[in-house]
Amino acid sequence: MNKQEKYSFVGYWFMRYLSEYIPVIKNQSHNTLTSYRDYYMQYLPFVAKRTGKHADKLLITDLTVERTNAFLNHIETDKGCTIQTRNQRLTAIKSFVHYVYNNAPEYMEWSRLMSTIPMKKVKVKVIEGSVLPAVSYLDKREMDALLNTPDRQTVQGRKDYAMLLFLYNTGVRASEAASLTIGSIIYDDASCPLVRIYGKGNKSRTCPLWNRTLNAIKPFMAGRRETERVFLNRYGNPMTRFGIYELLERNVIKATATAPTLAKKRVSPHTLRHTAACHLYESGNDIVTIQSWLGHVSLNTTNIYTEVSLQMKEKAIMLWTIDGEENATK
């Protein structure tokens, strides 16, 4: 294979992109690298199926605007991903496109066409001059229904419960949960259990653990090395971000039997992150504490939960008023 032929294959550029560009040139964290790799493990097989080729035979020109839009619609409509997730996938795709063009100018026209794919607009709120995305979260009844769904008489059910409870307790991102090691869980008999979480840009934060969260996790850490991942799949391999998405999706579907309102919501790991923040604020925690809990850089990002809390209170007042009026007429 000559140099020009090698340059035409997606695999050649994808390998360089992940091994050179993301970790070295962009100096991105391991979590970011893993996320981008996982995005493409969805995107490339989807395109390959559309072309009738194996993924390792795909050419750069097989990545078309039409196929990319079809993929984005697929993850939003068929997989139930949010608009924000859809836009994240597109950002990753465009990053790869720009990398290829910057190293192989012959793909200028291809890059131009791919760059025309628009981001999808997200509903936003304006709070004190800051534009913030609308937040999707679960109320207490829905969250309880979700936690009560796994069959804790089975090993898999106990694993599912431990993951769901950990996500709700800590409000971590899916990538942070997937990369969590046993050595990051800190506990003894004299103090509150803690977990050290490594987030965006390899920044770390410490989050308290409920005793029931620790008790749910401990059986799966016994006899294992501190460097090993806490959460494993049914095959004994570390869970991936997408494995966590699938675990959540599976349990949400079951939970709709006792909480039908869940059927109207798109629930992702980030939804549980929002849920944790909203419930923390409702419990009386100040916004700075929640900022530290979630690992937000900007306080403006966290301020959205105060607005959500006000909406929850307004809804409760309306229901109370309606009930009062109904009771008065009886």
So which residues are the catalytic ones? Answer: 173, 200, 270, 273, 296, 305
Q: Are 180 and 195 in contact (CB under 8 A)?
A: yes
> Largest Cα–Cα distance in the chain?
86
Our CA dihedral for 57, 63, 64, 68, rounded to 10 degrees, sits at 120
Query: Any alpha helices (H) in the chain, and if so which ranges?
Result: 3-7, 10-16, 30-51, 65-73, 83-103, 108-114, 140-147, 155-170, 174-178, 211-217, 241-255, 269-282, 287-294, 299-329
What's the Cα-to-Cα distance from 240 to each of 34, 174, 180, 215, rounded to whole Å?
9, 8, 11, 23
The SS3 assignment for 54 reads coil
Which helix H or strand E contains 194, and what residues bound it? strand 194-198
d(CA 300, CA 244): 28
Closest CA to 228 of 183, 187, 170: 183
Residue with tokens 């993301």: 22
Q: How many CB atoms lie within 10 A of CB 52?
A: 7
Strand order in the sheet with 194-198: 185-186, 194-198, 204-208
